[in-house]
Structure 1
Amino acid sequence: MTSTPGTGPDAAGTGAEPHGSDGRPAKPAKRARGGLLGWLREIGIILAVSIVLSFIIKTFLFKAFYIPSESMVPTLEENDRIFVNLMIPRNAALQRGDVVVFKDTKGWLPSLPPSTPNPVTEALEFVGLLPDTSQQHLIKRVIGLPGDHVVCCDASQHITVNGAPLTEPYVNPAETPRPMPFDVTVPQGTIWVMGDNRNHSSDSRFHDAAQPGSGFISLDDVEGKASVIAWPLNRIQVLDNYPGTFSAVPSPR
């Protein structure tokens, strides 16, 4: 028996080459990449995007620092990790009571012995994935703004700003501050800063006493306003600048 054309076993069998609508042989579909290679590729993309975003954030918005000393106890404990708002004072004015991080351009810190650099740590700090550990920065609270007249102390041992006495709830309650007399007017473009742990903070008071004028911090050296304690977990909180403490301070003359 003969087979009718088109109805034999090879008419639609595996030996026939598929054709497209234009009559040409159809190209075989590419197999989608998957498995380990695809998974690694996705992880690489995620890491790259994370690094770029982290670098942008730490350059323009927030930067992480760690606290190396006890000068801001009880507000900040040694080894706390904080986030600093870089928009202040870059895009918004500082306020009295703000906690600020500033570069040590005046040599307040003792010189450190040379250490072996760790390229991995330095790279992670550069892109913002680790807090800055360079120890070339200090952190204090703003007490006087440009033009302010800051004095220690009145008859009640209170610091005054433009004649208004300050009640300072942020000062370490574990120790009564030892008065260190000073009477300064803050020059334009600078601030007067003090630590909350007054008896253990080498701040504007000490450096101005050693060399008058060296206690003022240039606004150009201010990295930003410390906004949040991010680590350890049991200390996560937004930092207060105590506006009530400074609400009665008049504008400088």
Structure 2
Amino acid sequence: MDTEAQHTERDSSSQPLTGAEEKSRSARFSGRFWRRAGVLAGVCVAVVLLVSHFVMQPFLIPSGSMEPTLRVGDRVLVDKLAYRFGSVPRRGDVVVFDGTGSFVQEKPRENPVTGLLRGAAAAVGLAEPAGTDFVKRVIGVGGDRVVCCDEGGRVEVNGRAVDEPYVYAGDAPSRVPFDIVVPEGTLWVMGDHRDNSRDSRDHLGEPGGGVVPVDRVVGRVRWIGWPPGRWSALRPTDAFEDVGGPANGQRRRDDAHG
């Protein structure tokens, strides 16, 4: 009798579900699926934003000022750890920096919500960077004397003329004369497309003197990640290999004029 009752009970539990029960079960499954998918998506977004903030940030190139090295629409990966552990920017490095106080005097005002959304999109390379973010090449570091130009039209750093193979074809190294000793803790930066770049040369007479504080550097450009046909590492240049320190450079200039 007990066996029969148990058998009957098991049979009743395995009865086909009604239409309403099937819909309810399907709705519960669908709800669990979307909740889990939402949590997973949230975790992925959080991880991407954390990596972008602290380690490696995609950066959308908004202008042609760094052609031919970087083109409009390129998405590059900026190494934010490059200068975190005692390392400092070197001549020839391509860097992204916050130009507030040097290239722009104050951050443009924008709606907080719009700014948050744009910042999140820019952090993953889906939108143009903030109007205060720039990408340029380091030409002079603290203590360097950077001069334009020598008799051959080349930029001099510490008395040594620099051959710059990365400069856009047809551009002069600079059509604007300048002679500056870069203050310690700052950088003199220029675009590779010299005739199409607003850089340190254009801000000489402004507050900040056109130089960029090292602590405003976001990181070093390491790779071009998009479009696929442009995938490549950004190789360091040896253009500054023969440039000595400031003291040696100054002696060379003094000897030349003596």
Task: Please say whether Structure 1 and Structure 2 have the same fold, judged by a TM-score greater than 0.5.
Answer: yes
State whether structure 2 residue 45 is matched by structure 1 residue 54.
no
Q: How far apart, in 1, do the equivalents of 2:74 and 2:124 lie? A: 17
1:1-253 equivalence runs, <5 A: 10-15=1-6, 35-91=29-85, 92-106=87-101, 108-109=103-104, 118=114, 121-122=117-118, 124-125=120-121, 128=124, 130-131=126-127, 133-208=129-204, 210-211=205-206, 214-242=209-237, 244-253=238-247
Asked which structure has the greater CA Rg, the reply is 1
Count of residue pairs brought into register by the alignment: 229
**Which region of structure 1 is more displaced relative to structure 2, 195-204 or 123-132?**
123-132
TM-score normalized by the length of structure 1 = 0.78
SS of the counterpart of 1:96?
coil
The verdict on how the C-alpha distance between 1:96 and 1:85 changes in structure 2, with shifts beyond 3 A counting, is: same
The answer to whether the 8 Å contact 1:66/1:132 transfers is yes
Deviations 1:83-130 (A, max 9, x none): 211113222221211111111213635999877664783373376474
The residue type paired with residue 215 of structure 1 is G
Write the distance in 1 (CA, Å) between the matches of 2:100 and 2:119. Answer: 23
Aligned-partner Cα distance in 2 for 1:159–1:150:
7
Change in CA separation of 1:121 and 1:88 when aligned onto 2, cut-off 3 Å? same
* % identical equivalent positions: 35
- TM-score, normalization: structure 2? 0.76
Cα pair 1:143 1:194 within 8 Å, conserved: yes
Within 2, Cα distance between the matches of 1:67 and 1:127?
A: 13
Task: Rate the CA distance shift 1:122–1:213 in 2: closer, same or farther, 3 A.
Answer: closer
- Which structure 2 segments of 5+ residues have no match? 10-24, 248-258
Distance 1:56 1:163 in 2: 43
Higher helix share: 2
Q: Cα deviation per residue 1:21-77 (whole Å; 9 max; x = unaligned)? A: xxxxxxxxxx9x984234223312321221121121012101222122111111111
For 2:77 and 2:118, locate their aligned partners in 1 and report how far apart those are by CA, in whole Å.
Answer: 18
Q: Give the distance between the partners of 2:150 and 2:125, measured in 1 at CA.
A: 46
Q: 1:124 to 1:104 in 2, by over 3 A?
A: same
Amino acid at match of 2:79: N
CA positional deviation for 1:177: 4.3
- CA drift of 1:249 comes to 1.1
For residues 76 and 167 of structure 1, the distance between their equivalents in structure 2, rounded to whole angstroms, comes to: 19
Residue 234 of structure 1: how far off its partner (Å): 1.8
Consecutive unaligned residues of structure 1, counting only runs of 5 or more, are 1-9, 19-30
CA contact (8 A) 1:54 1:129 kept: no
Give the direction of change, closer, same or farther, for the CA distance of 1:129–1:104 in structure 2 (3 Å limit). Answer: closer
- TM-aligned CA distance change 1:145 to 1:127, over 3 Å: closer
Q: Report the AA paired with residue 176 of structure 2.
A: M
Output one character per residue of 1:126-182: Cα deviation in whole Å (capped at 9) or x when no partner: 764745532221111001111111111112111121122211111001434453221
Structure 1 residues 228, 162: CA separation in 2 closer, same or farther (over 3 Å shift)?
same
Contact 2:95–2:219 under 8 Å retained in 1 = yes
